Amino acid sequence: MRNATPLVLALILGVTAFLLAIKETPQPTAAEQTAVETSEKTASADSSGNRPSSPEDGSEAAAVEPTPWPSETSDIPPDPQAVFGALPNGLRYMILPNDEPPNRLSMRLHIAAGSLMEAEDQRGLAHFLEHMVFNGTKSYKDANQLIREMQNRGIAFGAHVNAYTSFDETVYMLDLPDIEPDTLDLTFGIMRDFGDGALLSEEEIDAERGVILSEKRSRDSVGYRMQQKQFDALLPNSLIAKRFPIGEEKVIESAPRERFLDFYNRYYVPSKITFVVVGNIDPADIEIKIKETFSSMKNPENPGQEPDLGVVTTPEGIEPHIFSDAELDSTDVSLLLVRPYDFKPDTREARAAKIPLEIANFVIGRRFDRLAKKENSPISDGEASKFVLFNDLELGSISVTVADDRWQEATPLLEQEFRRALEYGFTEAELAEAKANLLNIYEESVKRKDTRKSDSLATAIARSINDETVFSTPEENLEIVKSALESTDIAKVHQEFVKFWEAPGHHLVLATKTASDEASNELAAIYQESVSVQVDPPAAREIIPFGYTDFGKAGRIEKTTEIEDLEVTQLTLTNQIRVNLKKTDFEKNRIHVLARIGTGQLSQPKDKPLLNAVASTVFNAGGLGKHSADELSEILAGRNVSATLSISEDAFILSGSTTPADLLLQLQLMVASITDPGYRPEAIWQFQKSIPVLYQNLKHTTAGPSQEMKTWLHGGDFRYSIPSQTELSNYTIEEVKSWLTPELEKGYLELSVVGDFDEETLVNNLLATFGSLPERNKTQSDNTLNTRSVEFPNPPAEKTFTYESKIPQAMATAIWKTDGLRGNLEEFRRLNVLSDIYGDRLREEIREKLGASYSPNAGASGSDSLENMGYLVGQAIGKPEDIALLLSTMEKIATELSEKGASQDELDRALKPTLAQLEKTLRDNSYWLSTVLAQSQSDPNRLDLARNRDEDYRSINIEEINKLAEKYFAPSQLLKVSILPAE
């Protein structure tokens, strides 16, 4: 249930295309970032610490003993298809042939250095360097030249290029849209330049300082600040607490070029680099190219050393810690174990030894799930976990999220559940559920092996490098887990749990909004008092069979239509359910199912804002009539089935994914969800616990004013509004049932299935489940309470929204209304391209020249359900005092596009990456399911999406783009929105 609150927030806030997504870790990327005009100055080969030039005369780099691969000292064999190697200079490489997607390749340049390697006066420079390698190299002195070269080959920032800097690694990522020789030449050269060709000119460093500070500001949050406080308190003598990757402001503002060069010259060296290539290639050819590209790299005489991470101390007894901040959206209590980590090489024995504790942690999380659902429970969720950081320390955690800040009640609950596990261990039923789920994960990995995606494989390999784990096959992984599970019983799980938590003492952490001066003593006293309370053994639980296997007489097919060019079959059943089927080989052993039902928010009861979020939460958490959600978790353990309800603007969407072996069960679960939802009171209790978290988030982050902006853009329509906290708290299950029941019973239903299925088996299963339902509406009902139209604000207009925060983070948004998406697809495609051109200009002006925002972005937003609802938008996060500048710059650039138009070169550079992405989606089940098939019988034009989409994009010309720019980007059509922290 720990993920329930973000899910509710996403439903409520309705994440729109133009809102900037901020990731916490890994750090997003210099790769989206491009550069301004770079100096012609190159790094000289002198004794000042500058990077020596790599030999151009073919001379050999000095030999260095490479870091051994983990498989060299392990009894776990590596994947036999993988080619492992090392160059004489110590640079390692791994090549893995992989056919999915066809004719594509992914590469990762892993540098075993991050913020932990920084000196005190370099704090933040590891991440800063990640930006700087894009700001001019010896091959691309003008950074814009590099960007244009990539765009003209269909390589887009964000989509194909990315990077991140962590505590102990920096990784550069390229996913290529093709494997043509000139594309490989370009990208191998770029990766080499990242390694030792960065110019690091003073002019570019100074220009980038504002961008880094803007990124730091965009990541600033109460959660980030609390994490820093907790690291400082729990790891006072560890370097980890003092080396967060984003760095220190004073260093970012003033570090001289010499300190950049020092880090780059000593850590961006071949002996610390691993190059990973995965894709539809011949390893022998790639190995030759790696040698040609990287062999001349040289190691410095004084390479960077591994840092001393300091001392990790464990307290004696229970050591309380209180961390408070008025902007926290929830209260949490945690019992933490912090101690040095005894690193063990990756072997069969080491992997097997981890499994009992994984099972114990899973079971404790499930126990907290059940406790959270009890009436008046003081917790909303809880979990147990173990983490290893940088092979230096391990963290154990037992934690709960507290309902209504009732930490005085939640603390003894946490202590007693922890002690119950220590004293009595676990039950056979709990062990069986955990084993079944764990085994299923590894079995499914084997079945899907042949359709693993190259980009995911490359990323997983890169992330495993510093962990020093063997890249073994899914079959080998499964064999190790099966063997370990056979010898794992409840006694062993109990033993390993007790053993792990044996320590002189533990940290007891309370994170809350406000705390008195006596809170620390009170927390410790409550915990100690709880220790004297006797706990009972966990109750045995009986697992009952699934109660929904017979829905009556099977249905029949009334009509079959074969759409041969798209390899789609459409059925109409006698009960008027429509079915769309597409068999694919994109994901081995995976089937996706989606049912669009009824009218969604078009029938949402008048003046009940956010009832959609309440309804979906209550439906999903309420289980079925015969089984609670907890019982379903036990019954369905080890099976690949799910059924989740979401509510869109014009349909209720029930979706899930499964396997051929579990297909019938998947369909039974979905039909049971439609015919007999549980609507249990614990579901509404859980939602009510999330309400204070929601409103705290709306009050103290940009999420609140962003939602207000969305409401304003929709004319104040209640479907896009937030009710008062009291009103939301008073919604009932009966209100949910009265809305959903008639729609679930009779609403128009279109079911789409995409994936690896046998059609005859699928059809028989469909007729026995969905086919047995009573007759339903033949079309989507027009008898709805709400219209498909909203009142857009009249431009020009300016609006300011505020939120309460001490964090100086502001947001500028420029909006121009368009004719939207519904019934207007061809124009909307062109608006997507126009927004890419506009976004590229925003990047060059706002990020590169002004340094006023880390990631200005643009997009075209449009509703597929509402009439005439769409807009072009530009957005940037910056300092409050820069918002006026950001808005005026957005307006100026849009006006220039409106009056003078874009160039053919800009159109080409926007279109080619888009076309490369489109090609990839044709082998994406989610595209076929959600975009093409989901409503292809209620709207037959959907099928043309897959027929003419690519051709239509290729036909886009500069005259069309410039006409749209003239039509929409006029200053008279502009809405300016400022989001600011309240003064």
What mean pLDDT is predicted for residues 134-157? Answer: 82
Can you tell me whether residue 253 is helix, strand or coil?
A: helix
What mean pLDDT is predicted for residues 880-905? Answer: 97
Can you tell me whether residue 204 is helix, strand or coil?
A: helix
What mean pLDDT is predicted for residues 356-360? Answer: 98
- More confident: 13 or 548: 548
- Confidence band of 158 (pLDDT split at 50, 70, 90): low
Report the pLDDT value the prediction gives residue 8, as an integer from 0 to 100.
33
Q: Is the N-terminal amide bond of 101 cis, ω within 30° of 0?
A: yes
Report the pLDDT value the prediction gives residue 60, as an integer from 0 to 100.
57
- Confidence band of 22 (pLDDT split at 50, 70, 90): very low
Question: Does the fold of domain 797-981 match that of domain 557-772?
Answer: yes
Q: Using CA atoms, how far apart are residues 399 and 364, in angstroms rounded to an integer?
A: 10
3-state secondary structure 132-165: HCCCCECCCCCHHHHHHHHHHCCCCECCCEEEEE
Examine the pLDDT at 663 and tell me if it is beyond 80. yes
The DSSP annotation for 921-932 comes to: HTT-HHIIIIII
Encode pLDDT of 798-809 as tens digits.
999 999 999 999
Report which of 726, 695, 704, 3 is spatially closest to residue 328, judged by C-alpha positions. 695
Examine the pLDDT at 54 and tell me if it is beyond 70. no
Report the pLDDT value the prediction gives residue 527, as an integer from 0 to 100.
98
For 558, other C-beta atoms within 10 Å of its C-beta total 12
Report which of 321, 470, 336 is spatially closest to residue 398, judged by C-alpha positions. 336
Strands (E), 621-755: 644-647, 652-658, 749-755
Contact status, residue 938 vs residue 779, Cβ threshold 8 Å: yes
The pair of structure tokens assigned to 381 is 């969720």
CATH 3.30.830.10 fits 797-981, yes or no: yes
Report the pLDDT value the prediction gives residue 717, as an integer from 0 to 100.
97
Q: Using CA atoms, how far apart are residues 508 and 420, in angstroms rounded to an integer?
A: 18
Encode pLDDT of 799-852 as tens digits.
999 999 999 999 999 999 999 999 999 999 999 999 999 999 999 999 988 999
- Confidence band of 725 (pLDDT split at 50, 70, 90): very high
Q: Number of helices (H) and strands (E), helices first, in the chain?
A: 30, 23
Q: Using CA atoms, how far apart are residues 178 and 649, in angstroms rounded to an integer?
A: 38
What mean pLDDT is predicted for residues 657-683? Answer: 98
What mean pLDDT is predicted for residues 13-28? Answer: 27
Examine the pLDDT at 218 and tell me if it is beyond 70. yes
Contact status, residue 76 vs residue 472, Cβ threshold 8 Å: yes
- Confidence band of 162 (pLDDT split at 50, 70, 90): confident
Q: Using CA atoms, how far apart are residues 354 and 349, in angstroms rounded to an integer?
A: 9
What mean pLDDT is predicted for residues 514-526? Answer: 96
Examine the pLDDT at 39 and tell me if it is beyond 70. no
Examine the pLDDT at 769 and tell me if it is beyond 60. yes
Examine the pLDDT at 391 and tell me if it is beyond 60. yes
Q: Is the N-terminal amide bond of 796 cis, ω within 30° of 0?
A: yes
Contact status, residue 669 vs residue 616, Cβ threshold 8 Å: no
Encode pLDDT of 263-316 as tens digits.
999 999 999 999 999 999 999 999 999 999 999 999 999 999 999 999 999 999
What mean pLDDT is predicted for residues 103-110? Answer: 97
Q: Using CA atoms, how far apart are residues 85 and 287, in angstroms rounded to an integer?
A: 8
Report the pLDDT value the prediction gives residue 140, as an integer from 0 to 100.
83
What mean pLDDT is predicted for residues 717-742? Answer: 97
Examine the pLDDT at 611 and tell me if it is beyond 90. yes
Report the pLDDT value the prediction gives residue 49, as an integer from 0 to 100.
39
CATH 3.30.830.10 fits 317-531, yes or no: yes
Report the pLDDT value the prediction gives residue 56, as an integer from 0 to 100.
41
Encode pLDDT of 313-341 as tens digits.
999 999 999 999 999 999 999 999 999 99
Mean confidence (pLDDT) of the chain = 92
- What class does CATH assign to 557-772? alpha beta
Q: What is the DSSP letter of 23?
A: -
Q: Using CA atoms, how far apart are residues 278 and 461, in angstroms rounded to an integer?
A: 10
Beta bridge partners of 652: 597, 647
Write down the pTM of the prediction: 0.92
- What class does CATH assign to 77-294? alpha beta
Q: Using CA atoms, how far apart are residues 473 and 96, in angstroms rounded to an integer?
A: 12
Contact status, residue 658 vs residue 754, Cβ threshold 8 Å: no
- Confidence band of 147 (pLDDT split at 50, 70, 90): confident
Examine the pLDDT at 46 and tell me if it is beyond 80. no
- Confidence band of 7 (pLDDT split at 50, 70, 90): very low
Q: Using CA atoms, how far apart are residues 2 and 396, in angstroms rounded to an integer?
A: 17
Domain ranges of the chain: 77-294, 317-531, 557-772, 797-981
- Lowest-confidence region among 14-23, 415-424, 686-695: 14-23
What mean pLDDT is predicted for residues 510-531? Answer: 96
Report the pLDDT value the prediction gives residue 618, as an integer from 0 to 100.
97
